[in-house]
Structure 1
Amino acid sequence: MSTPTPDDLRLRMALVTEEILQRSPENVVEPTLERVRQVMDLMGDPQHSFRVVHLTGTNGKTSTTRMVERLLREMGLNTGRFTSPHLHDVRERIVIGGEPVDEQRFLDAYDEVLPFVHMVDERSQAEDGPRMTYFEVLVAVAYAAFADAPVDVAVVEVGLGGVWDATNVADGDVAVVTPVAIDHTRLLGDSLEAIATEKAGIIKEGAIAVVGVQEPEVMQILLDRADEVGATVQAEGISFGVLEREVAVGGQLLTLRGLSGDYRELFLRLFGAHQAHNAALAVAAVEAFVGGGEQPLTDEVVRTAFEDMSSPGRLEIVRRSPTVIVDAAHNPAGVTALVEAVRESFTFGRLVGVLAVMQEKDAETMVGLLEQVLDHVVVTRTSSPRAIRPDRLAEIAVAYFGEDRVSVVPDLPDALDTAAGLADDGGMTGAVLATGSVVTAAEVRMLLGVTGT
């Protein structure tokens, strides 16, 4: 068989991506692990061939996942990383050794998984059930790729919730729970207790649960789950945390307390108090993973990993003159963290927002929070069919900003141009902040020629 050319690989990759997209989208969740578990069983359970650090929560999951993986990789481990959603290319979700899987490796894993996916689809449809979903197939591909590599450890972010999330066919040695807030109420429930109960499902027998700061009712649910399965809980503010934090050029200086040691004057190339807390969670999770929380990491490992840390689409500067920042905040808790970070880390003379939000989100609360830092907002929409219509979003924005501070530009490229022009009215200190969803951040990055992750 001849070796496929780069053009062959790109074409096949495009066809496979479209094939997977034809399945139920990842915001359609089937409350069962049965289908993905059947595929894993038919393949010989590849998810059990490597150790796992599993992460859930409402905000901060992707950044914390990237931090954990970077620390483990700095320790010399061959790592896998699974995150979602992606910004530009589905292969971003499946990372081995710090790099997204190449097209050949993705296609090899897909070809390995596909016969079993078809078998499970046929079984399910014979019982009037659905085919495997988009997300379930990607999880199967990721676990197959990690097993084939092979990786020493996979750092896995849930897609949604925990109990029924397809990633939960794997059992984490360490379960990380970032702060839990209200989001995805249609799928997870409309109370903190219901959402926390779903997310607690990643805490498995004998695991160490590393838990960020939580509301009391959430913490109680996590403690009850840990007690039920015989897991150990290490909580931020008690077992580990942020000791000192200082804003610095291009990021922040941190002193962190881990489970078994303190780490001083670390430069983190990310903005905001929320990223400092993500960093503390990551250090504690890695300590828990490599030594049960009983031996510190070396200062060199932590320092080098943090200096190299990135989290694309999270308060990321993607252009200068004027400065354009993108942030994937898509719920009130995320926007609250964004607003606090903007206030703390930047001193813009004029800040203009580009805002596009999904229909199922609490747009009104998000707009109200953003009004605190935006001088003007340009409402628009992304290419997603789930985006709120610009005229509807404008009605919400006018209620908070007033008519004079709201512009409606239906097409995102034109909206970005309009915002840049309005920011120029602030002179050299004018800037643009594009936010409201992951898709907003991704499409603005793409428009400005930024595709790296």
Structure 2
Amino acid sequence: MRAMNGKSGLTSSSFQTYAEAVDWITGLQPFGIRPGLKRMETFMEKLDHPERRLKFIHVAGTNGKGSTCAFLTKVLRRNGYDVGTFTSPYIEKFTDRLRYNEEDIGEEDLLRLANRLKPLAEEMAASELGHPTMFEFTTALAILYFATVVYPDYVVWETGLGGRLDSTNIVNPVLSVITNVGHDHMDVLGNTLDRIALEKAGIIKAGVPLVSAVEQPEALEAIEQVCRDKKSTHYWLGRDFEYQVVSSELNRQQFDFRGPFREMTGLTISLNGYHQYKNAAVALMVIEVLRQYYALIVEKEDLYAALAETVWPGRLEMVSDHPPLLLDGAHNPEGAATLAEALASVYKYRKLHLMIGMLSTKEHSDYFRHILPLADTVILTEPNFRKKQSAEALAVKAREVLQEQNREIEITVEPDWKKALEMLLSRTGPEDLAVVSGTLYLISDVRSWILFESESEKGW
């Protein structure tokens, strides 16, 4: 029999502080990634299905999910709607990933909800279902927060990995989004684009419209078949809506948008990189579908202002001018191609100095093929995370790619990311550009260290 605190209703095994709760939740990381919805279904059943009270916009994709979620959140907020936003991983603090009206969940709310969920997690751990993972517990906590504490009009809901068996797929959304399909998490999702596409298409629900910017024919064919089977209308970039670039300069990119319901000209975004036109266009198509299906009210001036105001940390984010330091969480071939395109077209510099850290769960040769041709020097380091790829192993891959490209550049191996960062900054002149790229677990630490002189709380 566990002792009970009469005033608070807490048992002796309850979390007493926010820090204690977060330490316990992040301590679930060793349970890893366990695709499947049985534990989430059990959570929802025991909580009387809070997910059924919410309107979700479910966003999947290999890259661009975070930026698309940021655009959607800002547009909805600017037009007077209350918005919950669930994203991953977080950049600075655990509460970053559960936001209401662009503000983090309060520490007291998180503590209270974690104490409500912990006994259910312990019941599961003692059953054949096994212990919920960190991501499952956090997903359940997010649903409980949105459905029982803040009651948003819409929840912008980002998948963690894939779609079909991802914990977030416990919901039935009002609209689904697949930003793109690329080579990532192939150990879990499959090693061909059509198989990866089918996993992401698992978020498509019967009769629920889909907006996507998928380009590859084999991936698109797989998604289209799922839409036909589910009788879901598919709004596809390049067929049903499109954008046209007007101008591109640092922190200011303009484009026109044409969709099936209306056209808009002279739209401006402050996020950098050619790929952000596409992410913004996808977000605009989502808003347009919501206007048609759910009578969403959007004022033109608020829509334009929201796009221009949208920011997204850790993606082509300039965090220092002296010396110039750019952070970008490109960690797969498609992300590297996007970063390389931006470095070649948006930024001006005399020399480019790169610092890169990766996880061991991915294959990095194609990443290096995109990015190394632009670099003058490279520092390979290691994120402070249990699945880190060794800097030495990264160096082997980088040198192999340089050899096949018949190029030679200076490569330095420094496993300590703080020492690597000092080295990067010291070699970057005022007319040069320093770039930290790779896993967001490295980006989060560097960002917190540069901006706040503290280390981040990071987790998936």
Are 1:419 and 2:419 an aligned pair?
A: no
Deviation of 1:327 (Å): 0.5
CA deviation string 1:381-402 (max 9, x = no partner)? 1111222211222222233456
Alignment of 1:183-332 (within 5 A): 183-292=184-293, 297-332=298-333
Alignment of 1:17-32 (within 5 A): 17-25=22-30, 28-32=32-36
Counterpart amino acid of residue 98 in structure 1: E
Find the residue that maps to 1:292 and give its secondary structure: helix
TM-score by length of 1: 0.92
- Measured in 2, the distance between the counterparts of 1:359 and 1:440 equals 13
Find the residue that maps to 1:58 and give its secondary structure: coil
The answer to whether the Cα contact below 8 Å between 2:85 and 2:100 also exists between their aligned partners in 1 is: yes
The answer to whether the Cα contact below 8 Å between 1:288 and 1:294 also exists between their aligned partners in 2 is: no
Corresponding residue for residue 3 of structure 2: none
Deviation of 1:296 (Å): 8.7
Deviation of 1:115 (Å): 2.8
Bigger mean CA deviation after superposition, 215-224 or 293-302 = 293-302
Deviation of 1:48 (Å): 1.0
The one of 440, 444, 447 equivalent to 1:445 is 447
Deviation of 1:273 (Å): 1.3
The one of 74, 78, 82 equivalent to 1:74 is 78
The answer to whether the Cα contact below 8 Å between 2:18 and 2:107 also exists between their aligned partners in 1 is: yes
- Measured in 2, the distance between the counterparts of 1:31 and 1:143 equals 19
The answer to whether the Cα contact below 8 Å between 1:113 and 1:144 also exists between their aligned partners in 2 is: no
Counterpart amino acid of residue 411 in structure 1: D
Counterpart amino acid of residue 19 in structure 1: W
Bigger mean CA deviation after superposition, 400-409 or 181-190 = 400-409
Corresponding residue for residue 7 of structure 1: none
The one of 408, 412, 424 equivalent to 2:413 is 408
Sequence identity (%): 27
Structure 1 unmatched ranges of 5 or more: 4-9
- Measured in 1, the distance between the counterparts of 2:107 and 2:92 equals 14
Find the residue that maps to 2:162 and give its secondary structure: coil
Find the residue that maps to 1:237 and give its secondary structure: coil
Structure 2 unmatched ranges of 5 or more: 1-5, 9-14
Corresponding residue for residue 362 of structure 1: 363
Deviation of 1:283 (Å): 0.7
Counterpart amino acid of residue 78 in structure 1: D
The total of aligned residue pairs comes to 439
TM-score by length of 2: 0.91
Corresponding residue for residue 113 of structure 1: 117
Are 1:98 and 2:102 an aligned pair?
A: yes
Deviation of 1:312 (Å): 0.4
CA deviation string 1:206-247 (max 9, x = no partner)? 111001132111111111111111211110011112122411
The answer to whether the Cα contact below 8 Å between 2:376 and 2:409 also exists between their aligned partners in 1 is: no
CA deviation string 1:409-436 (max 9, x = no partner)? 2211111111122222xxx211100001
The answer to whether the Cα contact below 8 Å between 2:68 and 2:280 also exists between their aligned partners in 1 is: yes
- Measured in 1, the distance between the counterparts of 2:417 and 2:137 equals 31
Deviation of 1:114 (Å): 2.5
Bigger mean CA deviation after superposition, 182-191 or 285-294 = 285-294
Are 1:40 and 2:41 an aligned pair?
A: no
Are 1:53 and 2:57 an aligned pair?
A: yes
Which aligned runs of 4 or more in structure 1 are off by greater than 6 angstroms?
293-296
The answer to whether the Cα contact below 8 Å between 1:378 and 1:407 also exists between their aligned partners in 2 is: yes
Deviation of 1:404 (Å): 4.7
Deviation of 1:69 (Å): 1.5
The answer to whether the Cα contact below 8 Å between 2:358 and 2:388 also exists between their aligned partners in 1 is: yes
Counterpart amino acid of residue 407 in structure 1: T
- Measured in 1, the distance between the counterparts of 2:363 and 2:252 equals 29
The one of 71, 84, 88 equivalent to 2:88 is 84
